[in-house]
Amino acid sequence: MRRSAGLRHFLLSWLEPLSGVVALAVGWQIASMVAANPTLVPPLQTIWGALVDLAHGDLVNDIVASLFHLAGGFGTGAILGLLLALLCARFELVAAVIDPIAEFLRPISAIAWIPIAILLFGVGQGVPMFLIFYASLFPIFVNALDGIRRVDPTLVRAAEMLGASRRLVVTHIVLPAALPAVFAGARLSLGVGWVAMVAGELVGADTGLGYRIEYFQEFFSMEGVMATIVVIGIIGYLLDALLRLLQSSLLRWSPAHGGSR
Amino acid sequence: MSPAMRIGLPFAVVAIVLVAWEIAVRASHTQGLVPLPSGVVHSALALTEDGTLFSALGSSLERVVIGFAIAAAIGIPIGLAIGTVPVLDRTLRPVLDGLRGVAPIAWIPMAILWLGVRGDAALFVVAYAAVFPFILNTSEAARRIPRSLFHAAESLGAGRLLLIRSVVLPGALPFVFTGARIAMAFAWGSIIAAELAIGIKVQTARRAVAGIGQLMVDTLYVRRDVDALVLYMIVIGIVSFLIDSGLRRAQARLMPWTQR
């Protein structure tokens, strides 16, 4: 009895999400039949064919290029954001200088930088990388600073009393305590960075998944556009899932891994 | 740090940076390549005088508001449905997460094909970007309503509709409003992206309705005016700041019992 209940539960846990995906696919297929125009709404088998073609051709290069942009931009943005947050928390003067600049730049979205980025870096890898860097800088900076300022001062004092050096305090107390907030910021900025990346590649690069959409559009291959959209959706979903997994496994000790925007 | 310094220092820092910038650009003779602070002021005066900036801003904002309204009309019901019916949540969640993973701007070619370049394609991108914050926050809000409220209303004989109208909606409202704030920020960001992408597409054809994104493309490729580009960026920043602080204030006033 119990065994069949477990099996039923297992089957349901797979069937339910699957049925949503199937419903979406069926809906799309019906729409494509109604439209009766393979350019307007490419039927699923055509999209699948384009996906297979893409997988035999440039797909791997595109994904690698996009992930390279993402890693470069996100990495530099996260490191700079974290460093600035540490400096701002430590020196009041630095905070007084950085804060107004950050508050001024923050409302200007990464997207708004696209024309200037094209002008500065030319069409190429520089544009998406810079956009991702810019998009990830502020969420990480703001959240990290918030997290660092909320570190329990008694912990720091206790460590200092026990003879911990400044460096030890930072690496063993301040950073771990601020980690949940930093992670919340990282997830936010990866989401924003992903969007900025596709936009940047679409208008200002010659590699990556965003560029591939632009490329297919030039040739009016809408099934190619749709295939690329599917790939972008899957990778975007996987990235967020990966970060969520990392968050819950690294921060298992933390009562609330929340943060603020 | 004294209060006077706390207020004065940021201004002093910004002023020093701007002056140093101006001197550096003039000294290196890179005007026209690198934006010049005085040039930005100059183009601000010129562009506000002939009204280009305001009409572009107006047509962009109009699309943002319409796209935002569409997103709310679609997103809030979906959010309420998956927040109150667990089966729907389990079936639809992966689809929604997958769709959310697609950057809205990636839909541009399809949107242009479906709706045309005239502005409706940008509208699609805006609504797509703004719908997910509505869905996520509304469903989260509906889920957080204490079960006891449901049971109390049900035991007093409330039907499903009454339950939604008088328990779910008021309880969820503050959360939904936070979602609306995020959605608005997304909408404003993506209208610029959409207009940029569309503007680059149809650069040659003269456009009837040009938003601020198209104006930027024009400035970048036709007039090559760096100072105006920086001005547009600052305007974009000011608008998003005004939108966000306005919505925050509205939230504090309409729903004083909420913290955020």
Same domain, A96 and A213: yes
Mean pLDDT within A51-71:
90
pLDDT at A256: 53
Could B87 and A16 be called an inter-chain contact, meaning their C-beta atoms sit closer than 8 Å? yes
Is A261 within a domain?
A: no
Task: Spell out which residues of chain B touch residue A216, defining contact as CB-CB under 8 Å.
Answer: 109
State how far the Cα of A104 lies from the Cα of A97, in Å rounded to an integer: 12
Could B103 and A113 be called an inter-chain contact, meaning their C-beta atoms sit closer than 8 Å? no
State how far the Cα of A189 lies from the Cα of A199, in Å rounded to an integer: 15
Task: Share the mean pLDDT of chain A.
Answer: 85
Strand partners, B34: B31
Same domain, A17 and A68: no
Same domain, A112 and A11: no
State how far the Cα of A248 lies from the Cα of A231, in Å rounded to an integer: 26
The CA-to-CA distance between both ends of chain B, in Å, stands at: 29
Is A49 within a domain?
A: yes
The one-letter amino acid code at B214 reads Q
Same domain, A163 and A219: yes
Domain total in chain A: 2
Q: How far is CA A154 from CA A90, A158, A163, A168, B97, in A?
A: 16, 6, 14, 15, 41
Q: What is the pLDDT of residues A224-237, one digit of tens each?
A: 999 999 999 999 88
Q: What is the pLDDT of residues B117-168, one digit of tens each?
A: 666 888 999 999 999 999 998 888 888 887 788 788 888 888 878 887 777 7
pLDDT at A134: 92
Same domain, A92 and A26: no
Is A221 within a domain?
A: yes
Is A257 within a domain?
A: no
Same domain, A152 and A131: yes
pLDDT at A170: 84
Mean pLDDT within A233-255:
83
Please choose, from the candidates A135, A114, A140, A139, the residue with its C-alpha nearest in 3D space to the C-alpha of residue A126. Answer: A114
Share of chain A above pLDDT 90, in %: 21
- For tokens 């997958």, the residue is B98
- For residue A259, pLDDT beyond 50: no
Q: ipTM of the assembly?
A: 0.80
Token reading at B210: 């040009």
State how far the Cα of A164 lies from the Cα of A32, in Å rounded to an integer: 67
The CATH number of the domain holding residue A237 is 1.10.3720.10
3-class SS letters over chain A:
CHHHHHHHHHHHHHHHHHHHHHHHHHHHHHHHHHHCCCCCCCCHHHHHHHHHHHHHCCHHHHHHHHHHHHHHHHHHHHHHHHHHHHHHHHCHHHHHHHHHHHHHHCCCCHHHHHHHHHHHHCCCCHHHHHHHHHHHHHHHHHHHHHHHHCCCHHHHHHHHHCCCCHHHHHHHHHHHHHHHHHHHHHHHHHHHHHHHHHHHHHHHCCCCHHHHHHHHHHCCCHHHHHHHHHHHHHHHHHHHHHHHHHHHHHCCCCCCCCCCC
**CA-based angle A25:A31:A36, to the nearest 5?**
125
Is A246 within a domain?
A: yes
Mean pLDDT within A238-243:
88
Burial A212-244 (b: 16+ CB within 10 A, else e): bbbbbbeeebbbbbbbbbbbbbebbbebbeeee
Residue-range definition of the domain harbouring residue A2: 1-36
- Mutation target among A24, A108, A123 for the B interface, most CBs of B within 10 A: A108
Which of A19, A111, A199 has the CB atom closest to B91's CB atom? A19
Task: Spell out which residues of chain A touch residue B197, defining contact as CB-CB under 8 Å.
Answer: 199, 202-203
Mean pLDDT within A35-54:
88
Q: Is B209 exposed, middle or buried (0-12, 13-18, 19+ CB in 10 A)?
A: middle
Is A172 within a domain?
A: yes
Distance of CA A143 to the CA centre of its chain: 16
Confidence band, pLDDT 50/70/90 cuts, at residue A93: confident
Confidence band, pLDDT 50/70/90 cuts, at residue A70: very high
Token reading at A86: 């540490």
Same domain, A172 and A238: yes
Could A96 and B189 be called an inter-chain contact, meaning their C-beta atoms sit closer than 8 Å? no
Q: Cα-flanking dihedrals φ and ψ of residue B34, to 5°?
A: -110, 135
Q: Is B86 exposed, middle or buried (0-12, 13-18, 19+ CB in 10 A)?
A: exposed
Is A255 within a domain?
A: no
Q: With a cut of 50, which residues of chain B have pLDDT below it?
A: 204, 208, 260
Task: Spell out which residues of chain A touch residue B104, defining contact as CB-CB under 8 Å.
Answer: 195
More confident: A145 or A253: A145
Same domain, A18 and A46: no
Same domain, A162 and A198: yes
pLDDT at A112: 87
Helix (H, G, I), strand (E, B) or coil at B152: helix
Which of A195, A213, A225 has the CB atom closest to B104's CB atom? A195
pLDDT at A261: 35
Is A259 within a domain?
A: no
Which of A96, A198, A237 has the CB atom closest to B106's CB atom? A198
pLDDT at B73: 95
Same domain, A8 and A90: no
Please choose, from the candidates B189, B196, B66, the residue with its C-alpha nearest in 3D space to the C-alpha of residue B127. Answer: B66
The one-letter amino acid code at A6 reads G
Confidence band, pLDDT 50/70/90 cuts, at residue A75: very high
pLDDT at A260: 37
Which of B95, B106, B192 has the CB atom closest to A232's CB atom? B106
Same domain, A30 and A54: no
Give domain B53-254's CATH number out of 3.20.20.120, 3.90.1150.10, 2.40.30.10, 1.10.3720.10. Answer: 1.10.3720.10
Same domain, A79 and A62: yes
